């Protein structure tokens, strides 16, 4: 089993309010870990609000059924919005991102539950920069903003979209110092 330490070489100051952190293993790989937000803070508030939305629709649907069962069809779009928002929020709240840097490659790994998506880049072709674009917020809604990205052959692969500004800067500075 490989040992891990929380102090790799060339580490800029980690923001004290940050949840992101870096580790190294015995073989010299550097891992930048952006943990899942989880169901606390904004994540919990989002789930509670979606739950209230769904409960309100349930009560309304019950009232519609008592008036005339066919009227329940009016509630279908609201159910669809609630379910879609709930699914998006859960996906965003459970997203864990890891960036692994070794001698020759940079790997961007995104994990949601049991599903893992991975992109491997040649370290010599990687440029780290900030880009402006759209991403999903913790509420599952589309939002515009700046976030760090790994750029390879004019294609950008964003990460840490929902991190704080200080965390985004720290991640970008850390990657630049270690690539």
Do residues 140 and 82 both lie within one domain? no
Residue 29 counted as domain residue: yes
Residue 1 counted as domain residue: no
Do residues 115 and 166 both lie within one domain? yes
Q: What are 128-169's pLDDT values in tens digits?
A: 988 888 776 665 567 788 889 999 998 888 888 888 888 888
Which of 140, 164, 119 lies closest to 20 in space, CA to CA?
164
Asked if residue 51 lies in contact with residue 82, where contact means CB atoms within 8 angstroms, the answer is no
12 against 94, higher pLDDT: 94
pLDDT of residue 1: 42
Q: What percent of the chain clears pLDDT 90, i.e. is strictly above it?
A: 36
Strands 30-34 and 142-152: unpaired
Confidence band, pLDDT 50/70/90 cuts, at residue 18: low
Q: How many domains does the chain have?
A: 2
Residue 26 has pLDDT above 60, yes or no: yes
- Strands of the sheet with 142-152, listed across from one edge: 127-136, 142-152, 155-158
Do residues 98 and 87 both lie within one domain? no
As a whole number, mean pLDDT of residues 28-39 equals 86
DSSP, collapsed to helix, strand or coil, labels residue 72 as helix
Which structural domain, as residue segments, surrounds residue 53? 42-91
Cα–Cα distance for residue pair 33/16, rounded to 1 Å: 15
Last residue of a domain, which of 72, 91, 110? 91
Which of 138, 136, 140, 130 lies closest to 171 in space, CA to CA?
130
Residue 82 counted as domain residue: yes
Q: What are 96-131's pLDDT values in tens digits?
A: 999 999 989 999 999 987 889 999 999 899 999 888
Do residues 55 and 141 both lie within one domain? no
As a whole number, mean pLDDT of residues 35-53 equals 87
Do residues 101 and 143 both lie within one domain? yes
Do residues 59 and 126 both lie within one domain? no
């Amino acid at each position: 089993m490989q040992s891990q330490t929380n102090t790799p070489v060339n580490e800029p100051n980690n923001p004290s309010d940050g949840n992101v952190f870096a580790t190294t293993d015995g073989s010299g790989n550097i891992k930048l870990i952006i943990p899942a937000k989880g169901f606390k803070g904004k994540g919990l508030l989002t789930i509670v609000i979606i739950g209230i939305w769904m409960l309100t629709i349930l009560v309304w649907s019950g009232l519609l059924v008592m008036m005339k069962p066919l009227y329940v069809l009016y509630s279908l779009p609201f159910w669809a919005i609630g379910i879609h928002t709930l699914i998006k929020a859960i996906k965003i709240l459970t997203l864990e991102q890891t960036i692994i840097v070794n001698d020759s490659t940079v790997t961007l790994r995104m994990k949601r539950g049991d599903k893992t998506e991975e992109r491997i880049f040649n370290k010599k072709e990687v440029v780290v920069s900030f880009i402006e674009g759209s991403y999903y917020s913790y509420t599952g809604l589309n939002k515009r903003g700046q976030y760090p990205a790994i750029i390879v052959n004019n294609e950008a692969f964003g990460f840490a979209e929902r991190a704080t500004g200080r965390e985004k800067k720290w991640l970008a500075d850390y990657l630049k110092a270690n690539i």
